[in-house]
Amino acid sequence: MTNDTIPPRSAALLTVAEGEEPARVSPSHNPAPLIDIGINLGHDSYDGDRGAVITRAEDAGVVQMVITGASVEGSQKAIELARSRPGKLFATAGVHPHHATELTADALSALEELARQPEVVAAGECGLDYFRDFSPRPVQQTAFHRQLELAARLRKPVFLHQRDAHSDFLAILREHRHSLIAGVTHCFTGTGHELEAYLELGFHIGITGWICDERRGAHLLPLVRHIPGDRLLLETDGPYLLPRDLHPKPASRRNEPAYLAHIAAAVARARGETKETLAHSSTAAARALFGLPSV
Ligand SMILES: [Zn+2]
């Protein structure tokens, strides 16, 4: 999902740490606590240095993370990671619309078993993605219905994904809303009209580094002011969506949870509030939605 291309090396770039892993921030400067509510930490791009990625996130003030499960196998991996750091890492269990064709009856029972685990704080990610259409739309819709029913049965919030499918997505959500306890529309990149509809249904809104992209995310700057503080959550969606205005950028172009502080700063600026205020409200909102302990 990273659309950024690697810029040509210039003399100026040679003098900075371009291409090196981000330096550790001194923990002594005590950054405001943040929670990354959408991190694909099981992704194989983290296989070589997952421990260091977690440490850099902690040093940048990320006190807890919710690891996205986007397939049955990926959800299992997310749970295993969450078990390795109890109280710090949590998981979701779901099947992304890209993988909707994989959600057979057997897969659905396996998913339900995973979603019951105490480390799993939400059902999903699930929803509709008509941008890529990797699974046929009717199959995506069926998989979405089944996972909303699962979330309702387990009394867990739902972690929602929507791209280029707003009207079908909204219609299905409206059908199930009465039985769902809560949910978040993760990686919100839509219009004011879409935002209003999700807020009206009582959902939380997840904001990523998309907002840092002046080409396609600038419309979000005025919109984030309309999200009540107790409904706004922050996420990196790493390794995807490296904030476009991050300097220097890692040579890998891989996003990671340590960059949540950069995203939080952009969102706070757009809302006309301090980073501390946003950190406090978004952390409290994430804990309330997912039932996370205070650390
Ligand atoms: Zn997503």
Which ranges constitute the DSSP H helices of 228-290? 260-271, 275-290
The residue to which tokens 């009856």 are assigned: 105
| CA neighbor of 151 nearest in space, from 294, 293, 289 | 289
Over residues 233-250, the pLDDT tens digits come to 999 999 999 999 999 999
- For 27, half-sphere exposure in the C-beta direction (CA atoms, 13 angstrom radius) is 7
Q: What is the pLDDT of residues 22-58, one digit of tens each?
A: 555 544 467 889 999 999 999 999 999 999 999 999 9
CA of 161 to the centre of ligand 1 (A): 5
Of the candidates 53, 55, 25, the one whose C-alpha atom is nearest the C-alpha of residue 40 is 53
Q: How far is the CA of 184 from the centre of ligand 1 (A)?
A: 11
3-state secondary structure 183-226: EEECCCCCCHHHHHHHHHCCCEEEECHHHHCCCCCCCHHHHHHH
> Going from the N-terminus, what domains does the chain have, and what CATH number goes with each?
31-290 (3.20.20.140)
Q: What is the pLDDT of residue 66?
A: 99
pLDDT, residue 23, reads 52
Structure tokens of 75? 């959800």
Residue 249 half-sphere exposure toward CB, CA atoms < 13 A: 18
- Residue 13: what pLDDT? 33
Cα(43) to centroid of ligand 1, in Å?
13
Give me the average pLDDT of each 10-residue run along the chain (295 residues).
35 37 54 95 98 97 98 98 98 98 98 98 98 95 98 98 97 98 98 98 98 96 98 98 95 96 98 97 98 94
- For 279, the token pair is 């950190």
Those residues whose beta carbon sits under 5 angstroms from the ion ligand 1 are: 161
The model carries a pTM of 0.90
Beta-bridge partners for 160: 126, 185
d(CA 18, CA 46) in angstroms, rounded, equals 19
